[in-house]
Structure 1
Amino acid sequence: MIDTQACISRHPHPNLDLQKWQMTVNLMAELFNAACGTIVQFRQQEFNAVAASNNQDNFLQRNSSWPWDMKSFCRRIMETEKSLYVDDAELSNEWHSAPPVSEGLVRSYLGLPVSWPDGSLFGTICVIDTKTSEYNQVQKQLLKQFRDMINADLQLLFDYEEIKSLAITDELTQVNNRRGLNLLGDQRIKDARRFNQNIGMVYLDIDNMKQLNDTEGHQAGDACITTLANTLKNSCRDSDIIARVGGDEFLVMMLADDEQHIQKFCHRLEYQFSTELKQNPEFQFNSLSYGYCFTNDADKACMETMIDLADKHMYENKRTGKPHPSA
């Protein structure tokens, strides 16, 4: 997900070409013969110029900011969600006493709202000048075209994040798929090596799923799988990596103080899942099998080896009906 409260200029998204935005505001200042072309983001009750034209007479710099509480042209656009054109601010009864005019250099302003794809306002795109202006309809339409380009860039960010999410997320359960586990798990091992942390891997499998699918149908099977996924989401910490790696098979990769930490987690999860199953008569024959492994030597940790070992212990558990330790 895109953090719409993060400052675009200070924390740029890897798929956002801020140089393109810079070229856009430079062109705006040139075409409108104005002191300033700028794109402004509103976040955390503050306006921030994320792109400002680099002409010498521009009084507004990139990352210049001003508070929502101050009367400003950008604030009016955010309040009305409409365009704003003031050709002579000093002669305007409404704007002559506004700080950008009475205490600053602003004499003319033309701006439009910029929106995130979800409909919330990103901020504004505007042409600001230190002299009065007489912009015609063609110039106003031109600024709309620039605005639409910025809106399209923001849409691309949302589309990128959605595609990335689909690529690493299991559609049914909304936890990581195998690809997501590989991406996040590799990074988790690197972090564990760096900070000298221990890693645990838990392999989970729902018992008697074939019987459930044969007697109650695959919709009931999907519901049982989703129940386990939701139980995992409620039981795991934010730092734990949850993944669906098969039809009814899940993995949890976690940082653990010791093997006892993993045992307690598995016992608690088994109890919570059993409690959820008892609420639905369709799941009366289902239960949970698990196996786990633990390493306190992250330098030698290999994700595939840990998965294979946890999987082996899970099948030992399923065969004997008892949890199998990681030895």
Structure 2
Amino acid sequence: MTIPHSVLERLKNNEITARKFHEIEISILTILNFQDFIEKLLFEISSKFSVSYTWLSIIDESGISKYLQNIQDSTLLRRSTTFLSKEQFSKITQNRLKPILANKNLNGFRSLFPEASEYEIGSIAIAPITLDGQIVGSFNQADKNISRFEPGIDTSLLEQLALKVSLCLSNVTAHEQLKFLAFHDPLTGLLNRRVMERILEREFQRSKRYHIDLTVLFLDLDDFKSINDTFGHDNGDMALCHTADCLKSLKRDSDIVARFAGDEFVVILPSTNKSQAENYINRIKQKLASSALAANNTTFHVKLSHGLASVFEKGMDSSAILLKTADKRLYIAKQNK
């Protein structure tokens, strides 16, 4: 029996495609950080298959969204990653796990495209990716050719690639989470005490060397025990996270916000004198006063006490003394309330 030439050609093409997918899998298998993983994946797909456009669409509510949105120094990632709500993603994909191919009515997929992209798309392939069994987004390919991803063509190899990407993504996420926890407080996402102390020492030495202002704020929540006792520890955690969000939202890029311990926070303010630091903490207190938290059919406000110390005050001979002085002044402020 003679096998038709067209069948042999298709088998040969499938074999070539499978080999390219295997090469891509090998190239991303050992990468353990998001930036390198995604950059390598997008580059390999685009170059090996000559696809016009490759990018990722990530669900905002997914576990990897915050990690990817924190990567600011990769031009490729900013250009090739888009974020959308779970509702938007579900509307497009209907929560399907199998790849979706389309070459008509492509405007319906517009929310998957990166912001400000000017893709000239004739056809598109959307391969959902998962993390721990949950859909977190999709790996997308698009081409100017309307036949490239025509509905009805075999997507088995694309499914295999999506599965491999999902498995690799799980490894990368686990590694990134461990790295994140080594430097950050797991509840608020702020830097932890150990990292803060290292940064404070660095900024202290820089301030002394170049005679630049440096002020440290030490603050904690008023009646935090009462919040826990009255509204429960979950709402106590909510109060801590709300405080952390306020501190971050009003800081400059150069400022450092950290959770010290319990309900205590430290803010390192480079190139900032005591008067400017007071302005900052007053804005924080105003924001907290204007944003009530809902709990147990009622509301409550977070209130803060603070102490601050400047590097140019007498006796500030080390970063440890600077921090301890701010802490003492916090204690005095609470005593005087």
TM-score w.r.t. structure 2 length? Answer: 0.49
- Deviation of the 1:204 alpha carbon: 0.6
Specify the alignment match of 1:305 in structure 2.
Answer: 321
In 1, are the aligned partners of 2:216 and 2:310 still within 8 Å (CA)? yes
Specify the alignment match of 2:273 in structure 1.
Answer: 258
Specify the alignment match of 2:89 in structure 1.
Answer: none
Is 1:219 aligned with 2:242? no
After TM superposition, list the pairs within 5 Å mapping 1:1-327 onto structure 2: 43=76, 80=125, 121=139, 156-189=171-204, 192=207, 196-277=211-292, 282-283=299-300, 287-296=303-312, 302-321=318-337
Distance 1:153 1:227, change over 3 A: closer
Give the Cα–Cα distance (whole angstroms) in 2 for the partners of residues 305 and 167 of structure 1.
Answer: 25
- Deviation of the 1:210 alpha carbon: 1.9
Q: Which runs of 5+ in 2 are unaligned?
A: 1-26, 56-75, 81-117, 142-158
What amino acid sits opposite 1:241 in the alignment? I
Give the Cα–Cα distance (whole angstroms) in 1 for the partners of residues 209 and 140 of structure 2.
Answer: 38
In 2, are the aligned partners of 1:292 and 1:310 still within 8 Å (CA)? yes
CA displacement 1:89-134 (0-9 Å, x = unmatched): xxxxxxxxxxxxxxxxxxxxxxxx9x998665599xxxxxxxxxxx
Which stretch of the first structure deviates more once superposed, 271-280 or 229-238?
271-280
- Deviation of the 1:243 alpha carbon: 1.2
In 1, are the aligned partners of 2:200 and 2:268 still within 8 Å (CA)? yes
Q: Which runs of 5+ in 1 are unaligned?
A: 1-7, 26-35, 47-67, 71-75, 82-112, 124-143, 322-327
TM-score w.r.t. structure 1 length? Answer: 0.50
- Deviation of the 1:290 alpha carbon: 0.3
- Deviation of the 1:80 alpha carbon: 4.1
Give the Cα–Cα distance (whole angstroms) in 2 for the partners of residues 211 and 178 of structure 1.
Answer: 25
What amino acid sits opposite 1:176 in the alignment? L
Alignment partner of 2:309: what SS?
strand
- Deviation of the 1:253 alpha carbon: 0.8
> Which has the larger helix fraction?
2
CA RMSD of aligned residues (A): 4.8
What is the total number of aligned residue pairs between the two structures? 225
Give the Cα–Cα distance (whole angstroms) in 1 for the partners of residues 277 and 161 of structure 2.
Answer: 55
What amino acid sits opposite 1:242 in the alignment? V
Alignment partner of 2:291: what SS?
helix
Distance 1:155 1:122, change over 3 A: farther
In 2, are the aligned partners of 1:199 and 1:255 still within 8 Å (CA)? yes
Distance 1:159 1:187, change over 3 A: farther
Alignment partner of 2:307: what SS?
strand
In 1, are the aligned partners of 2:217 and 2:309 still within 8 Å (CA)? yes
Higher radius of gyration, 1 or 2: 1
In 1, are the aligned partners of 2:183 and 2:195 still within 8 Å (CA)? yes
What amino acid sits opposite 1:232 in the alignment? L
- Deviation of the 1:212 alpha carbon: 2.4
Specify the alignment match of 2:23 in structure 1.
Answer: none
- Deviation of the 1:146 alpha carbon: 11
In 1, are the aligned partners of 2:192 and 2:259 still within 8 Å (CA)? yes
